Amino acid sequence: MNFVSKELFPFIEKTYRSNGYKVLVGHSFGGLATINNLLTASLFNAYIANDLSLWWDNELLIRKTDSTQRDFKDIRLFLAQSNNARLRNLTDDEHEIAIVKFRTVLEKERLKNLRWKYVFYEEDDHGTVPLPGNNDGLRFIFESYRWNFRDALKDPAAIRRHFDKVSAALNYPFRPTQSLFRKIIAIARERSNDAVVNQLQELQQTYYPNTNKSG
């Protein structure tokens, strides 16, 4: 994690078009790293833990979670559990028992102000659960992001309202991309009127002052 925070994060920010919002995804033992970072450093804004191996070291991270005093405001956690017990014909598997214990700790609100969601995947096992878990986890984290951008063809100010709402929900500054403006301005030129096009271009320049209106 020292490497991730001091070397990898700066490299990503410098090399790629990232806005800085970070999500850590872990599966099985990787899920332990996910929860451990949540509890100790919270380098990420959100976490997805798929069928994590919380039985490890006599349920160390469950005890650690149960005793933490930190505030987890504005952090999100998605917890996915697969149906290993049925597929293995077991009713007392330590893997499943540990995850249930961890969920109970979360239900007791031991992680103050943490926004979290738990999903049990009846038809998935330990190896297949990351696929639906990652998808549903991202939907949970970014649930406020979905919207009908075509509303802006009638009211360009809807763009600002939407991204202000997303930023407030995630407590992180989100803004429309330049590609979104290019697309919606192109559609407006075909289906709307000059007044809407001009409003969209003016709004675009408030976010990207160096943008040429013709673009």
Mean pLDDT, each 10-residue run in order, the chain (215 residues) = 95 93 97 96 96 96 94 96 77 86 96 97 94 98 92 95 96 94 95 94 94 64
Residue 17: predicted pLDDT:
86
Q: How many CA atoms lie within 13 A of 182 on its CB side?
A: 6
- Which one, of 3, 46, 6, lies nearest residue 26 by Cα? 46
Helix (H, G, I), strand (E, B) or coil at 91: coil
CA nearest to 49, candidates 144, 116, 145, 125: 116
* pLDDT tens by residue, 91-107: 678 899 999 999 999 99
This prediction's pTM = 0.90
Q: Return left, alpha or beta for 100; rule: phi > 0 is left, psi -120 to 50 is alpha, else beta.
A: alpha
Kindly report the three-state secondary structure assignment for every residue of the chain: CHHHHHHHHHHHHHHCCCCCCCEEEEECHHHHHHHHHHHHCCCCCEEEEECCCCCHHHHHHHHHHHHCCCECCCCEEEEEEECHHHHCCCCCCHHHHHHHHHHHHHHCCCCECCEEEEEEECCCCCCCCHHHHHHHHHHHHCHHHCCCHHHHHCCCHHHHHHHHHHHHHHCCCCCCCHHHHHHHHHHHHHHCCHHHHHHHHHHHHHHCCCCCCCC
Q: Is residue 86 within a helix (H) or strand (E), and if so which, with residue range? A: helix 84-87
Q: How far apart are CA 153 and CA 203, in angstroms?
A: 13
Q: Tokens representing 213? A: 């209106």
- Residue 212's pLDDT is 73
Domain architecture of the chain: domains with CATH: 2-141 (3.40.50.1820), 147-207 (no CATH)
Residue 211: its pLDDT value, please? 79
Res 164: pLDDT:
97
